[in-house]
Each structure stands twice: as C-alpha cells, then as structure tokens.
C-alpha cells in the first residue's frame, strides 16, 4: 500500500498497530468463545471492544490523513473496563487477571489527565469487587497489589510522557537556537500540504538568510555569531503568531511556515519582521542585523521540495538585488506587485 503519511505519523501508526493486534487477539477469542459456549451476556460485552479495535485497525491500515484511529483506541480501553469488571463478578471468569493489564494500558495510551481519573475509578470499583469476591483477607491482598500496580503504572506513564517530551525536543529542535530543525520542518510542511489538499487552506513559507553574517563571525568571533543567531530566532518567535513555526534550515538560513496566510499577507509579515530587526538596538555587541527573504505560497499538486525551492529562488533574487528585502518566488503568477 502506498502511504502519504509523514515519517512521524507512520511510526506512531506502526506502534499503535502492534498494540492493537495484541489487544485484538484476546478480544476476539473471548467474544467467540463465550458466545459459542453459552455465556452470551459476557460475549456480547466484549463485542464493542473488538469492534473498536477493528475500526481502529482500519484507519491505521488505510491512507486516511486524520488521526481518528486514536479516538477508537481510547474508546476500546474505556469500553474494555465493562467486560473486565463484569468478569470479576463471576467466579468462573476470573476478570481479576485482566485488571492489571487494563490499568497499565490505560496509563500508557490515554491522555494523562483522563487516565488518572478513569483508572482511579476502575481501581476503586475493582477493589470493592475484590473484597466482595475474596473476603477480607484475600480482598486486602488483592487491593494492596492493585494499588501498588496503579502507583507503579502512574509513575511509569509520567516518566514516559516526560521522556517523550524531552526526546521530541532533542529530535525536532536545533540545539543552539532552539528553533525547529529540518527534521521537524518536513513533517510540518507535510501536514500543511495535506491540510491544503483537504480544506484548501493556504500556507506560505518565508525563506530568510542573514545578510553578511560572515562579517559578524570575522569581526566578533563565532561565539558572538552564535549569540546573534539565538537573538534572531527569539525575535522571529516573538514577532510571529503562536501557531507560526520558525525553523533553522541551515547555518544562518531560516524558514517560517505561516499557516492560513496568503502571499500578500506573508509579504506584510516579512517586511514587518525585516524593519523590526533592522531597527532593533538590542542586538549582541551592537551588530547591525538585516535579512533577505523569499516567499512561496503552496500550490496544488506541488511537492514539498519544489515548494521550498521556489522560496529559495525568491531569496536568491533578494540577495542579488542588494539584500535587506523580500522577494516573491519567480514562478508566482503576475498580478501582485510588491
């Protein structure tokens, strides 16, 4: 199957696929087994769980560009508490064997706040059933074990979320400037491209390059040059919208992705940034900083590399026209005179 998923989305779907297959096998087994052997009520409680997994697998295995499979993952976990807790009420079904797996799966797959509330409710209900089923002594042992697992799973989930956030920062942020890096760039451009194909919401990129940056390094040294780059990124992030993305493309070259922004609007943004930076007196060591920029608005049927190349061509023309200015991509249709 040919997939248009981004590398990040493909990795998430592959991991989800493995987890769903692990859940689908017991779900289908218990559904078929208990319906076949006369325990219709229990088999029917498992049917919605298996159905959610099947629907989720469908979205994972197709080229849908949304993330609806995550919704059905969560519905599966929340629905699974019904047969698990119901099985605890029946001496022959031994639902207590599956409570631990459900708790761990919820903490690892549900959003943190939802998992904390939902699992707390499941744990309290399971502990109550445990005392009713096993009596005081065995019920207490079961409760202590379940609470210990609850605390352990909660701690593991917290650590996993924190580490995932840290790894995401390391993987998608430039280590010096803290701007997004090229790895993040192509993922974001891919999303903008797919969003444009679905809803025709346009997007424009601004390719920027600091003018005469080599002179800064030669005059003040590379540590000051690094300060200038960090200062420049902070200015860009401060003077753009919260949902705009600033990327370090390489060296002193940067790219800004403006979602829902036309060429005309992006030109206005670029010019405001250019004037703001050129007139800012807070630059490291009083350096005079300007940049040149090229703009390119997304086009129907255009791949990401071509989109970037058009913006880079605009930047090339801005540089050769004298620097410290904004140019449109040469392939932009006539009619918009800057």
Which residues have a catalytic role annotated? 252
Instruction: Give the residue from 233, 236, 215, 238 showing the smallest Cα distance to 285.
Output: 215
207 DSSP β-pair partners: 255, 294
In sequence order, the 6+-apart residues with CB closer than 8 A to the CB of 17 are 57, 60, 61
- Do residues 304 and 190 touch, judged by C-beta distance below 8 A? yes
Note the Cα 206 to chain centre separation in Å.
23
For CA atoms 167, 171, 175, 178, give the dihedral sign: negative
Extract the tokens encoding 163.
């580490």
- Report how far apart, in Å, the C-alpha atoms of 142 and of each of 127, 243, 317 are: 7, 48, 73
- Tell me how many helices (H) and strands (E) the chain has: 10, 5
């Amino acid at each position: 199957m040919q997939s248009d998923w981004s590398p990040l989305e493909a990795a998430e779907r592959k991991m989800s696929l493995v987890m769903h297959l692990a859940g689908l096998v017991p779900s289908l087994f218990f559904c078929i087994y208990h319906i076949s052997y006369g325990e219709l009520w229990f088999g029917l409680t498992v049917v919605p769980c298996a159905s959610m997994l099947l629907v989720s697998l469908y979205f994972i295995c197709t080229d849908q560009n949304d993330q609806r499979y995550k919704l059905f993952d969560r519905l599966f976990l929340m629905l699974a508490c019904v047969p698990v807790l119901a099985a605890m009420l029946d001496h022959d079904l031994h639902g207590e064997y599956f409570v631990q797996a459900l708790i761990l799966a919820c903490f690892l797959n549900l959003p943190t706040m939802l998992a904390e509330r939902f699992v707390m409710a499941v744990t309290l209900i399971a502990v109550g059933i445990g005392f009713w089923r096993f009596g005081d002594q065995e019920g207490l042992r079961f409760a202590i074990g379940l609470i210990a697992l609850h605390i352990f799973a909660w701690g593991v989930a917290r650590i996993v979320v924190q580490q995932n956030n840290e790894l995401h920062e390391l993987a998608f942020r430039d280590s010096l400037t803290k701007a997004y890096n090229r790895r993040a760039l192509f993922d974001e451009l891919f999303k903008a491209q797919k969003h444009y194909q679905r809803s025709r919401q346009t997007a424009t990129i601004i390719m920027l390059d600091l003018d005469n940056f080599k002179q800064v390094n030669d005059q003040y040294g590379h540590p000051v040059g690094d300060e200038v780059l960090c200062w420049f990124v902070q200015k860009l992030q401060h003077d753009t919208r919260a949902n705009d993305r600033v990327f370090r493309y390489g060296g002193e070259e940067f790219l800004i992705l403006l979602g829902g922004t036309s060429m005309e609007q992006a030109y206005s943004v670029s010019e405001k940034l250019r004037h703001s930076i050129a007139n800012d007196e807070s630059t490291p060591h009083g350096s005079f900083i300007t940049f040149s920029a090229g703009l390119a608005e997304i086009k129907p049927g255009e791949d990401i590399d071509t989109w970037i190349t058009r913006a880079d061509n605009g930047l090339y023309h801005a540089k050769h026209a004298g620097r410290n200015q904004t140019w449109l991509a040469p392939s932009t249709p006539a009619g918009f005179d800057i």
